[in-house]
Amino acid sequence: MTRVALFGCGWIQDFHARGVLAHSRGELVAVANWREASARAFAERHGVPRVTTDWEALASDPGIDAAIVATPNALHAPQSIALLRAGKHVLVEKPMATSVAECDAMIAAAREGGAVLMVAHCWRFRDEVRAMRARVAAGELGEIVKTRGYGVHAGWGPSGWFVDPDLAGGGALVDMGVHAIDTARYLLGDPDPVRVCAVAGTRYARGRYTVDDDGILLISWSNGTNSVVESGWWQPHLGGLEADTELYGTAGYARIWPPEMPEGYEHTSQPMYTAQVAEFLDAIAEGREPRPNGEDGRVVMRVVEEAYASARGATR
């Protein structure tokens, strides 16, 4: 059994917890959160025996083998590095970190500690996304000329640490855009970015926060495909569901989800998180590299970093 600790106990961690409980090799042993009352309520929901507010002590505890880090973005690197250096395997929520330099430090710590590092780009584990990747790999659409992907909330946006630049490291791009970036890359067979251009800014909620709530990226990949990515909160219209991607090929067009979804459709559903956790726990048991790994997470962060730099240049 792999004894798993959870760092953070927000909404997304419930999905991870259920994924661990569903796996024959997973055991939930602890949850760490700075609000003890929240951690205790979480522990009661999922039957977690240990609650602590001291994540640093938990990171080096010999009683845990692995951790799922789902805390504010600014904590991803320090918490993951502490765990990895102690030989603990880590599944870290997206975005992997708040900078490429932090990603590099996390990758080095995994190497130093001999531990598995996986990044939770969850849409790779959705059946519809995997089916589309298979179609692309089989050549059904011919050469993919361009893609258009969506990472947008319409009529809604987050609050709290998500809109604090020191804790989040950005706005809608790091919250939502990363889903569209990684999904496009996954569908294309994980090429490298060779050029990133972007515009981004605070357009819909000026005066409420300073982070971006609107962005458009153009990514040129090493395989010759160009990807357009839209990110945003509070948009008046939803061009596509979260991580939805349109593909334009020399032999046809396709998109992951149809524009009109059937009644009762659940987009963010438990099965993809259960499959993601299974990849993490199976990789640990089998002594192999998981996917998406630290290098995959670094690529997404590189695109984000270059997009923000491009957007700053565009507004001068």
pLDDT at 259: 83
Residue 296 located in a structural domain? no
Contact 142, 223 (CB under 8 A): no
Asked if 162 and 308 sit in the same domain, the reply is yes
Asked if 74 and 35 sit in the same domain, the reply is yes
pTM of the full structure: 0.96
Residue 32 located in a structural domain? yes
pLDDT averaged over 10-residue windows placed end to end, the chain, 316 residues: 97 98 97 96 97 97 98 98 98 98 98 98 98 98 98 96 97 98 98 98 95 98 98 96 98 94 90 98 97 98 98 76
Residue 72 located in a structural domain? yes
Distance in angstroms (rounded) separating the CA atoms of residues 120 and 142: 30
Q: How many domains does the chain have?
A: 2
Asked if 259 and 135 sit in the same domain, the reply is yes
Asked if 137 and 71 sit in the same domain, the reply is no
pLDDT at 313: 87
> Which CATH number belongs to the domain containing residue 185 in this structure?
3.30.360.10
Residue 105 located in a structural domain? yes
Residue 206 located in a structural domain? yes
Lookup result for tokens 């945003």: 232
Q: Is 225 left (phi over 0), alpha (psi -120 to 50) or beta?
A: beta
pLDDT at 304: 98
Residue 81 located in a structural domain? yes
pLDDT at 201: 97
Q: How many CA atoms lie within 13 A of 57 on its CB side?
A: 9
Asked if 17 and 70 sit in the same domain, the reply is yes
Nearest to 97 by CA among 67, 126, 117, 125: 117
Residue 243 located in a structural domain? yes
Asked if 252 and 203 sit in the same domain, the reply is yes
Measured CA to CA in angstroms, residue 204 lies from 11, 31, 72, 113, 207 at distances of 25, 36, 23, 44, 9
Structural domain of residue 89, as residue ranges? 2-123+271-291
Asked if 275 and 244 sit in the same domain, the reply is no
Asked if 12 and 41 sit in the same domain, the reply is yes
Contact 181, 304 (CB under 8 A): yes
Contact 221, 247 (CB under 8 A): no
Q: Is 312 left (phi over 0), alpha (psi -120 to 50) or beta?
A: alpha
pLDDT at 193: 98
Contact 219, 181 (CB under 8 A): yes
Asked if 115 and 130 sit in the same domain, the reply is no
What does DSSP assign to residue 175? I
Contact 219, 252 (CB under 8 A): no
Alpha carbon 282 to chain centroid, angstroms:
19
Nearest to 117 by CA among 151, 76, 145, 149: 76
Asked if 47 and 155 sit in the same domain, the reply is no
Contact 306, 99 (CB under 8 A): no
pLDDT at 261: 82
Residue 142 located in a structural domain? yes
